[in-house]
Amino acid sequence: MHSLNLVVHDNIPLFKCSYCGKCFGFLESTSYLKIKMRGCCWYFPKYKLIDIKNILNIGREDFIKEIANLTNSKIEKYHIEVLGYFDDEKYNKLKPQVKDFDSTLFFKLCPFFDKNGCRLDFTLRPHPCNLYLCREVIEACGLEYESYNRERKDYFAYCNYYNDLLAKELQNNKINLIDNFDDSIKLLKQVHIPKFDFRRLREIQIKFENEIAV
């Protein structure tokens, strides 16, 4: 028996699933790379302004500057993306066809992945990473997942709304992350945004029909 619950630290949420990392055989965990047990760690983390703001609020400006200086980071005006590995040669050779799923993800690896999972504490990840659940877990949760689904949608709406406001704040001050990185970080630290009002979600007990011992 496994469980799913909501963990929150200073406006940063995590859907904590005890089955995470044990999902060999699930569609999302399919890997054509040398590393097979990488779960769904195929996302190239994109830190939007709201993610940067949340991380600044917990006193980790050093982390923001660290990822900004990585050779595999791509800084845009209003976000920082950390690029991972994509085996495009193998993808172009095989090009597996999967209904309703991006098969390029089978050939990608997050830059923060290691053999024990994510190297980052969840407070240092962008929010899509923390609130992603594979479809097999969602299906196993049944109707109980609806409260988590609603929380996820509401938090994404909150992030989108305040991310746009933060972008407008930078625009009004004629600065951005590309041309005025330090000034942008300074302003983001000063701007106040209200915290999300998280619900108290009931822990869900999850049972899979064919659990795989790992």
Q: Which of helix, strand or coil describes residue 39?
A: coil
195 assigned to some structural domain: yes
Summarize pLDDT for 103-118 with one digit per residue, the tens.
Answer: 999 999 999 998 888 9
Q: Which domain holds residue 147?
A: 2-206
Q: Which of helix, strand or coil describes residue 73?
A: strand
Structure confidence at residue 84 (pLDDT): 96
Domain total of the chain: 1
213 assigned to some structural domain: no
Summarize pLDDT for 3-61 with one digit per residue, the tens.
Answer: 999 999 999 999 999 988 777 778 888 999 998 888 888 999 999 999 999 999 999 99
pTM of the model: 0.93
Strands (E), the chain: 2-9, 12-17, 46-48, 73-76, 79-82, 85-86, 108-109, 113-114, 117-118, 204-206
Closest-CA residue to 79 (of 63, 68, 69): 68
- The confidence band for 211, taking pLDDT boundaries of 50, 70 and 90, is low
68 assigned to some structural domain: yes
Do residues 15 and 203 touch, judged by C-beta distance below 8 A? no
Do residues 86 and 104 touch, judged by C-beta distance below 8 A? yes
97 assigned to some structural domain: yes
Rounded to an integer, the average pLDDT of 155-162 is 98
Do residues 56 and 189 touch, judged by C-beta distance below 8 A? yes
